[in-house]
A and B are shown apart, each in its own frame.
Chain A
Amino acid sequence: MTKPENELTWKDLEIGCIVTEPGNAGQYRTGDWRSQKPVHNFDRCIKCGLCQIFCPEGCIEQNTEGYFEANLFYCKGCGICARECWTKVITMVDEEE
């Protein structure tokens, strides 16, 4: 998109509001919906990847050291990863105001 969404006029829209730029949903920040964030203590992590499988947002990525980490640009703070992790790597912490 050439302009930010809040500056688009009706004339800027494609017919039927068709999106012609593939994959631009990646620009959509869902991280600011969050009231809690996952915090990791990787000392206990066995790199099993279960948290990645359970994350409904699909936002858990493996970092260069092989640990599974949440991408906070997308993480909605649902806490599912913290609940499912069997070695209790993840704690949900309130976001600051």
Chain B
Amino acid sequence: MTELLATAHAALVRHGGPGHGLRFGLLIVVVLVVVAVVLIQRQRRKDRTTMEVASPTAVTGDGGTSVAVVGLAEPIPTGHYHFGDLLRAEWTKLRTVRSTGWTLLITVVLGLGISAIATAETRAHWASGPVGQHVGFDPTATSLIGIFVAQFAVGALGVLAMSSEYSSGTIRTTFSAAPNRLRVLLAKLVVFGVLAVVFAEVVSFASFFLGQALLTSPATHATLSSPGALRAVVGCGLFVAALGVLALGLATMMRFTAAALSTFVGILLIAPLIVQALPTSLSEEIRRFLPDRIGAAILTTTGPSPFAFSPWVGLGVLALYAVGVNVVGAVLLVRRDA
């Protein structure tokens, strides 16, 4: 991550500072933000309708009669509550809080916006600068920088999916309705995981196509059939989704939003800095295990780095992290008092 931003920054500096391309990219971000704000405002206005306090129906005007509860005019079904019931409930939970919309919106804005800036800027300064400056230019990676940055938004969504249950006390309501905690956690992981994969892939592909469209001639651009391009685009979506699942696991372990979120950000941003301070030979060996290096290798199509896992191996390592953290979370979830 830090690595990628550094690459992008170097590209901009090399081109002699911001120009038309940057301005164009910024315009896209601004437009997306304005659209977002307008949509949110409209929702707000809908919410601001007056809240009248209704009185419970059965009590109006009576002095001493009992409140009759309407029975559930159907027999209890055979069997027991199923995983499918929990999936449906978890999807409702995710769908009905605003943070979900927010984080997904930020994912789109960052994903498309930053990709647009990076590619348009490159295109604008293509002709200027020294000869040979474009050797090693990676159009695919440049167009995917945005979705890569959006990993923080997807991570926040993963954290909130679990931590908000604790901060609000909903977790006890949830476990009162479905005491099989492992099944609840699994349902949550499946629903969040599917949403994260689908969404990250859509944004990843969209960023790629937007970026390549902005890299008009004479700049070189990639297509999905370029070597490594499809792998990078698909891999990038999976990478971001896996980080989201890891974030959800951190939240299950730690229960508090702030703790889980700062750990997540720490792993991505602070851990590389700490490792960098070690002697080079050692630090390069360790860094290959860090998510930011794994991600950089997934994005890059210009040849493998000796200091990184190959893309699919890296993705496998990251998946192991995500599974590991979630297993620890699950054990704690079952053992601890809710």
A, B bound: no
Interface residues of A (CB under 8 A from B): none
